[in-house]
Amino acid sequence: MKSTLFSTLATAFVFGGGLIGAAAQAETQSVFYQHLNSTAVIANPLLANDTLFIDTFTPERGALRQITTFTVGAGVTSFTGHAAWLVSTPADAGPRLVGVNIDLFDTSNTLIQSDSFAGVLAGFAHSTISGLLGPGTYTLVATGTGQRDSSLDISLTLAVPEPATYTMLLAGLGIVGYALRRRIGRGSAGAAPQS
Protein backbone atom coordinates (compact mmCIF):
# COMPACT_ATOMS: atom_id res chain seq x y z
CA MET A 1 0.00 0.00 0.00
CA LYS A 2 2.88 2.37 0.78
CA SER A 3 4.40 1.80 -2.65
CA THR A 4 1.05 2.61 -4.28
CA LEU A 5 0.80 5.79 -2.18
CA PHE A 6 4.29 6.95 -3.15
CA SER A 7 3.74 6.01 -6.80
CA THR A 8 0.51 8.01 -6.93
CA LEU A 9 2.06 11.04 -5.25
CA ALA A 10 5.14 10.86 -7.49
CA THR A 11 2.93 10.79 -10.59
CA ALA A 12 0.96 13.80 -9.33
CA PHE A 13 4.12 15.84 -8.65
CA VAL A 14 5.74 14.93 -11.97
CA PHE A 15 2.54 15.84 -13.82
CA GLY A 16 2.16 19.02 -11.79
CA GLY A 17 5.80 19.97 -12.38
CA GLY A 18 5.21 19.68 -16.11
CA LEU A 19 2.28 22.08 -15.88
CA ILE A 20 4.25 24.58 -13.86
CA GLY A 21 7.23 24.35 -16.21
CA ALA A 22 5.05 24.90 -19.25
CA ALA A 23 3.38 27.93 -17.71
CA ALA A 24 6.64 29.59 -16.71
CA GLN A 25 8.28 30.21 -20.08
CA ALA A 26 9.32 33.74 -19.26
CA GLU A 27 11.94 35.92 -20.88
CA THR A 28 14.15 38.66 -19.51
CA GLN A 29 14.69 41.72 -21.65
CA SER A 30 17.75 43.66 -20.54
CA VAL A 31 18.89 47.24 -20.97
CA PHE A 32 22.48 48.22 -20.14
CA TYR A 33 23.12 51.91 -19.52
CA GLN A 34 26.66 53.35 -19.43
CA HIS A 35 25.61 57.01 -19.04
CA LEU A 36 23.62 58.89 -16.41
CA ASN A 37 21.39 60.41 -19.09
CA SER A 38 20.14 57.69 -21.43
CA THR A 39 17.03 56.48 -23.20
CA ALA A 40 16.03 53.11 -24.59
CA VAL A 41 12.99 51.60 -26.28
CA ILE A 42 12.33 47.88 -25.84
CA ALA A 43 11.37 46.53 -29.26
CA ASN A 44 9.53 43.34 -28.24
CA PRO A 45 6.39 43.47 -26.08
CA LEU A 46 6.73 42.12 -22.56
CA LEU A 47 4.33 39.26 -21.91
CA ALA A 48 3.06 37.47 -18.81
CA ASN A 49 5.88 36.53 -16.42
CA ASP A 50 8.49 38.40 -18.49
CA THR A 51 11.01 40.62 -16.71
CA LEU A 52 12.45 43.96 -17.74
CA PHE A 53 15.95 44.31 -16.27
CA ILE A 54 17.83 47.61 -16.31
CA ASP A 55 21.51 47.59 -15.38
CA THR A 56 23.48 50.83 -15.00
CA PHE A 57 27.14 51.35 -14.29
CA THR A 58 28.89 54.59 -15.16
CA PRO A 59 31.82 56.62 -13.83
CA GLU A 60 29.94 59.83 -14.72
CA ARG A 61 28.85 62.25 -12.00
CA GLY A 62 25.84 64.50 -11.89
CA ALA A 63 22.11 64.21 -12.53
CA LEU A 64 20.72 60.77 -13.37
CA ARG A 65 17.81 60.66 -15.83
CA GLN A 66 17.20 57.36 -17.59
CA ILE A 67 14.07 56.80 -19.64
CA THR A 68 13.06 53.27 -20.69
CA THR A 69 9.97 52.80 -22.87
CA PHE A 70 8.36 49.37 -23.18
CA THR A 71 5.12 47.76 -24.34
CA VAL A 72 3.03 45.31 -22.32
CA GLY A 73 1.24 42.54 -24.22
CA ALA A 74 -2.22 41.04 -23.72
CA GLY A 75 -3.16 39.18 -20.55
CA VAL A 76 -0.97 41.13 -18.12
CA THR A 77 -2.79 42.61 -15.13
CA SER A 78 -0.07 43.73 -12.71
CA PHE A 79 3.64 44.01 -12.05
CA THR A 80 6.15 43.85 -9.22
CA GLY A 81 9.55 45.46 -9.22
CA HIS A 82 12.69 45.99 -7.20
CA ALA A 83 15.61 48.37 -7.42
CA ALA A 84 19.03 48.43 -5.77
CA TRP A 85 21.79 51.01 -5.99
CA LEU A 86 25.14 51.51 -4.29
CA VAL A 87 25.20 54.26 -1.65
CA SER A 88 28.72 53.95 -0.23
CA THR A 89 29.31 56.44 2.56
CA PRO A 90 30.75 59.87 1.65
CA ALA A 91 34.12 58.84 3.12
CA ASP A 92 34.35 55.63 1.01
CA ALA A 93 35.73 55.49 -2.52
CA GLY A 94 33.01 53.19 -3.92
CA PRO A 95 30.02 54.07 -6.10
CA ARG A 96 27.56 56.54 -4.60
CA LEU A 97 24.17 57.25 -6.12
CA VAL A 98 21.73 59.24 -3.99
CA GLY A 99 18.18 60.61 -4.23
CA VAL A 100 17.01 57.79 -6.50
CA ASN A 101 13.37 57.90 -7.58
CA ILE A 102 11.69 55.52 -10.02
CA ASP A 103 8.39 56.44 -11.68
CA LEU A 104 6.19 54.61 -14.18
CA PHE A 105 4.10 56.65 -16.65
CA ASP A 106 1.51 55.70 -19.28
CA THR A 107 1.35 57.14 -22.83
CA SER A 108 -0.52 60.26 -21.66
CA ASN A 109 2.33 60.93 -19.18
CA THR A 110 0.09 60.09 -16.22
CA LEU A 111 1.99 58.74 -13.23
CA ILE A 112 0.98 55.10 -12.69
CA GLN A 113 3.28 54.19 -9.81
CA SER A 114 6.37 55.37 -7.87
CA ASP A 115 8.83 53.25 -5.96
CA SER A 116 8.85 52.98 -2.16
CA PHE A 117 12.17 53.13 -0.35
CA ALA A 118 12.80 49.89 1.57
CA GLY A 119 16.09 50.67 3.34
CA VAL A 120 19.85 50.19 3.12
CA LEU A 121 21.62 46.86 3.53
CA ALA A 122 25.35 46.23 3.06
CA GLY A 123 25.90 49.50 1.21
CA PHE A 124 22.94 49.01 -1.15
CA ALA A 125 19.76 51.06 -0.99
CA HIS A 126 16.62 49.14 -1.96
CA SER A 127 13.16 50.09 -3.14
CA THR A 128 10.07 48.30 -4.40
CA ILE A 129 7.45 49.21 -6.95
CA SER A 130 4.26 47.33 -7.85
CA GLY A 131 0.69 47.81 -8.97
CA LEU A 132 -1.93 47.15 -11.59
CA LEU A 133 -0.79 47.28 -15.20
CA GLY A 134 -2.64 46.33 -18.37
CA PRO A 135 -1.62 46.09 -22.02
CA GLY A 136 -0.18 49.29 -23.47
CA THR A 137 2.98 51.38 -23.70
CA TYR A 138 4.74 52.66 -20.59
CA THR A 139 7.79 54.72 -19.68
CA LEU A 140 9.98 53.99 -16.67
CA VAL A 141 11.95 57.03 -15.49
CA ALA A 142 14.83 56.75 -13.01
CA THR A 143 16.27 59.95 -11.50
CA GLY A 144 18.89 60.69 -8.87
CA THR A 145 22.39 62.12 -8.42
CA GLY A 146 25.65 60.33 -9.09
CA GLN A 147 28.19 61.66 -6.58
CA ARG A 148 30.84 59.15 -7.71
CA ASP A 149 30.58 56.07 -9.95
CA SER A 150 26.93 55.06 -10.22
CA SER A 151 25.50 51.55 -10.05
CA LEU A 152 21.74 50.94 -10.31
CA ASP A 153 19.72 47.79 -11.06
CA ILE A 154 15.96 47.78 -11.66
CA SER A 155 13.76 44.79 -12.44
CA LEU A 156 10.05 44.69 -13.27
CA THR A 157 8.20 41.38 -13.60
CA LEU A 158 4.79 41.27 -15.26
CA ALA A 159 2.08 39.13 -13.70
CA VAL A 160 -1.22 37.58 -14.73
CA PRO A 161 -4.13 36.12 -12.80
CA GLU A 162 -3.53 32.57 -11.57
CA PRO A 163 -3.48 30.34 -14.65
CA ALA A 164 -6.06 27.59 -14.99
CA THR A 165 -3.23 25.04 -14.95
CA TYR A 166 -2.45 25.86 -11.32
CA THR A 167 -6.09 25.46 -10.39
CA MET A 168 -6.17 22.12 -12.21
CA LEU A 169 -2.99 21.03 -10.42
CA LEU A 170 -4.42 21.87 -7.00
CA ALA A 171 -7.71 20.14 -7.82
CA GLY A 172 -5.82 17.06 -9.00
CA LEU A 173 -3.72 16.93 -5.85
CA GLY A 174 -6.90 17.31 -3.78
CA ILE A 175 -8.52 14.35 -5.56
CA VAL A 176 -5.38 12.24 -5.06
CA GLY A 177 -5.36 13.16 -1.36
CA TYR A 178 -9.07 12.33 -0.99
CA ALA A 179 -8.62 8.96 -2.71
CA LEU A 180 -5.62 8.10 -0.53
CA ARG A 181 -7.50 9.10 2.61
CA ARG A 182 -10.42 6.84 1.67
CA ARG A 183 -8.06 3.97 0.84
CA ILE A 184 -6.17 4.35 4.13
CA GLY A 185 -9.46 4.67 6.03
CA ARG A 186 -10.79 1.40 4.53
CA GLY A 187 -7.54 -0.41 5.28
CA SER A 188 -7.51 0.59 8.94
CA ALA A 189 -11.26 -0.04 9.48
CA GLY A 190 -10.89 -3.78 8.94
CA ALA A 191 -7.66 -4.14 10.91
CA ALA A 192 -7.66 -5.76 14.31
CA PRO A 193 -6.60 -3.54 17.21
CA GLN A 194 -3.03 -4.11 18.35
CA SER A 195 -2.16 -4.55 21.97
For 86, the domain range is 26-159
Give me the pLDDT at residue 186, please: 55
Could you give the CA distance from residue 4 to residue 183 in angstroms, rounded to a whole number?
11
Q: Is there a domain that residue 125 lies in?
A: yes
Q: Is residue 194 part of a domain?
A: no
| Total structural domains within the chain | 1
Measured between alpha carbons, how far is 140 from 111 in angstroms, rounded to an integer?
A: 10
Q: Let me know: does 138 contact 72? Beta carbons within 8 Å.
A: yes
Phi, psi (degrees; rounded to nearest 5) at 105: -120, 150
pLDDT at 5 (0 to 100): 37
Alpha-carbon distances of 122 from 23, 146, 151, 155, rounded to whole Å:
35, 19, 14, 19
Largest Cα–Cα distance of the chain, in whole Å?
82
Residue 8 is assigned to a structural domain of this protein: no
Task: Give the model's pLDDT for residue 21.
Answer: 41
- Is residue 12 a part of any domain in this protein? no
Structure letter (DSSP) for residue 162 = P
Does residue 179 lie within any of the structural domains? Answer: no
Is 169 inside a domain boundary?
no
pLDDT per residue, tens digit, the chain (195 aa), is 444 433 443 344 333 444 444 344 679 999 999 999 999 999 999 999 999 999 999 999 999 999 999 999 998 999 999 999 999 887 888 899 999 999 999 999 999 999 999 999 988 999 999 999 999 999 999 999 999 999 999 999 999 765 544 455 555 555 555 555 555 555 555 544 454
Task: Tell me the CATH number at 77.
Answer: 2.60.120.380
What pLDDT score was predicted for residue 10?
Answer: 39
CA distance 114 to 102: 6
Domain-located, residue 5: no
pLDDT of residue 1: 46
| pTM of structure | 0.70
Decide if 59 is inside a domain.
yes
What three-state secondary structure class fits 43? coil
Structure confidence at residue 117 (pLDDT): 95
